[in-house]
Amino acid sequence: MSDGEPSDFLKGIKDKLIRSKEQWASDKRLITGRPDLGHVNRLPPGQREVKNWPVLDLGAQPDVAPDRWRLRIGGAVENPAVFTLPEFMALPQEDFVSDIHCVTQWSRYDNHWRGVSAKTLLDIVKPKADARHVLFTAYDGYTTNVKLDVFAEGNVLLAHSWEGAPISREHGGPVRVIIPDWYLWKSAKWVTRIEFSAIDQPGFWEVRGYHNEGDPWKEERYSG
């Protein structure tokens, strides 16, 4: 398997996983009903801390060769851009430390990232005045959406390294999105496109019963 093309076997696994997660949304699984609206606690409600980094995906892990990776940024921007991996690595690099929170109930503290901040990318492409939303597309076809002001937060980045080493294929390498203040499904793995838009475009899980926002402290796991 390469460049995001799953085998027939993996497509079967993917379908089973999707049905399972849709049932979670239907059943409102893991909801405690005790939201921490002030972000008072480091651990969001219903979460448990883990020391490892669990691997979760749709049953397919794209094998994106570094020389074939491209990041395309377009839509409602003044300066559409396409980056190869060397061009991406030549952009200003920053180090970040943040916690991550998965909708499947685990959280991991103090992750060390290196990559390009969202603010750097915004300065390059310059979203138009009517841009309000951002849609990420991954090499496996996965999509997810956030508001522009969420993407513009100071701790958001496109990461290529975790804990001093390149992000592995299983965790979304060569480059993935990290939006630490939202459930991790919003942080698209294997990212290849970022599109800015005046209108919202709910992504893969958002049209399958998951919340359109995804704030862990408000328990925004599911819609409705």
Residue-wise pLDDT for 191-220, tens only, equals: 999 999 999 999 999 999 999 999 999 999
Spell out the residues 6+ positions from residue 9 whose beta carbon is closer than 8 angstroms to its own.
none
C-alpha–C-alpha distance, residues 48 and 216, integer Å: 12
CB 193 within 8 A of CB 143: no
CATH class in words for 8-218: alpha beta
C-alpha–C-alpha distance, residues 35 and 16, integer Å: 30
pTM for the full predicted model: 0.91
Helix, strand, or coil here: 71?
A: strand
Spell out the residues 6+ positions from residue 7 whose beta carbon is closer than 8 angstroms to its own.
1
Spell out the residues 6+ positions from residue 178 whose beta carbon is closer than 8 angstroms to its own.
96, 98, 100, 113, 115, 156, 157, 158, 159, 187
Task: Indicate if the pLDDT at residue 139 is higher than 50.
Answer: yes
Q: Which residues of 78-115 are buried (b: 16+ CB within 10 A; e: fewer)?
A: eeeeebebeebeeeeeeebebbbbbbbebbbeebebbb
Structure tokens at 75: 């839509």
Helix, strand, or coil here: 14?
A: helix
The two beta strands, 191-197 and 70-75, are parallel
Burial class (CB in 10 A: 0-12, 13-18, 19+), 70: middle
Q: Which of 53, 10, 70 shows the shortest CA–CA distance to 192?
A: 70
Domains of the chain, residue spans = 8-218
Beta bridge partners of 127: 77
For residue 63, what pLDDT is reported? Answer: 92
Structure tokens at 127: 């979203």
Tens of pLDDT along 34-52?
888 888 899 999 999 999 9
Structure tokens at 104: 């499947």
Cis previous bond, 66, omega within 30:
no
Task: Indicate if the pLDDT at residue 17 is higher than 50.
Answer: yes
Q: Which of 34-43, 128-137, 160-169, 210-219 is least confident?
A: 34-43
For residue 4, what pLDDT is reported? Answer: 40
